[in-house]
Amino acid sequence: MRYLGEKCPLCGVEFTEDDDIVVCPDCGTPHHRECYMSENRCANEELHAEGWKWERKIRKHGFRTCQKCHFPNKYTDTVCSRCGAELSDISVDDNGVASGVSENGQQGRDSFSVPDAEELLNPIKFLGLDPDEDMGGATMKEISDFVGTSAIYYIPKFKQMKDGGAKPTFNLFSLVFPSLFFANRKMWGWAVVAAILSILFNLPENLLLCIESLPEDIANFLSSNKPVIENVSNILIIADMAVRAVFCFFANWFYFRFSLNSLKKFKKMRMGSEDIKAAGGVKPFNMVLIMLIKYGIGVAAVAVLYMGFEMITTVQDFSTLCLH
Over the chain, what is the mean pLDDT?
80
39 with 111, same domain: the answer is: no
Q: What digits encode the pLDDT tens for the residues 245-301? A: 999 999 999 999 999 999 999 988 888 878 888 899 999 999 999 999 999 988 888
Does the residue 29 lie in any domain?
yes
Does the residue 132 lie in any domain?
no
**Cβ 33 vs Cβ 40: under 8 Å:** no
Residue 123 has pLDDT above 60, yes or no: no
**Cβ 102 vs Cβ 88: under 8 Å:** yes
166 with 296, same domain: the answer is: yes
Q: What digits encode the pLDDT tens for the residues 15-71? A: 887 888 999 999 989 999 999 999 899 999 999 988 888 887 655 445 666 766 666
Does the residue 133 lie in any domain?
no
Cβ neighbour number for residue 262 with a 10 Å cutoff: 18
Does the residue 128 lie in any domain?
no
283 with 165, same domain: the answer is: yes
- Range of the structural domain that residue 83 is part of: 56-121
162 with 288, same domain: the answer is: yes
Does the residue 239 lie in any domain?
yes
Pairing of strands 63-65, 30-32: unpaired
Which of 54, 73, 99 finishes a domain? 54
Residue 193: the pLDDT is 95
Residue 150 has pLDDT above 80, yes or no: yes
Which of 30, 54, 78 finishes a domain? 54
- Tell me whether residue 243 is exposed, middle or buried, using C-beta atoms within 10 angstroms of its C-beta: 0 to 12, 13 to 18, 19 or more: middle
In angstroms, the Cα distances linking 224 to 167, 218, 221, 304, 317 are: 47, 10, 5, 20, 18
231 with 256, same domain: the answer is: yes
How many domains would you assign to the chain? 3
Does the residue 200 lie in any domain?
yes
The amino acid sitting at 23 is V
102 with 169, same domain: the answer is: no
Beta bridge partners of 89: 101
Secondary structure of the chain as H, E, C letters: CCCCCCECCCCCCECCCCCCEEECCCCCCEEEHHHHHHHCCCCCHHHHHHCCCCCCCCCCCCEEECCCCCCEEECCCCECCCCCCECCEEEECCCCCEEEECCCCCECCCCCCCCCHHHHHCHHHHCCCCCCCECCCCEHHHHHHHHCCCHHHHHHHHHHHHHHCCCCCCCHHHHHCHHHHHHHCCCHHHHHHHHHHHHHHHHHHHHHHCHHHCCHHHHHHHHHCHHHHHHHHHHHHHHHHHHHHHHHHHHHHHHHHHHHHHHHHHHHCCCCHHHHHHHCCCCCHHHHHHHHHHHHHHHHHHHHHHHHHHHHHHHHHHHHHHHC
Residue 13 has pLDDT above 80, yes or no: yes
Determine the Cα–Cα distance for residues 13 and 7; give it in Å rounded to an integer.
5
95 with 216, same domain: the answer is: no
pTM to 2 decimals?
0.60
186 with 91, same domain: the answer is: no
98 with 1, same domain: the answer is: no
39 with 60, same domain: the answer is: no
Does the residue 134 lie in any domain?
no
Does the residue 151 lie in any domain?
yes
> Mean pLDDT lowest for which of 33-37, 115-119, 164-168, 300-304?
115-119
Which of 92, 121, 150 finishes a domain? 121
Residue 223: the pLDDT is 84
Beta bridge partners of 79: 86
93 with 200, same domain: the answer is: no
237 with 219, same domain: the answer is: yes
Q: What is the CATH number of the domain that holds 2?
A: 3.30.40
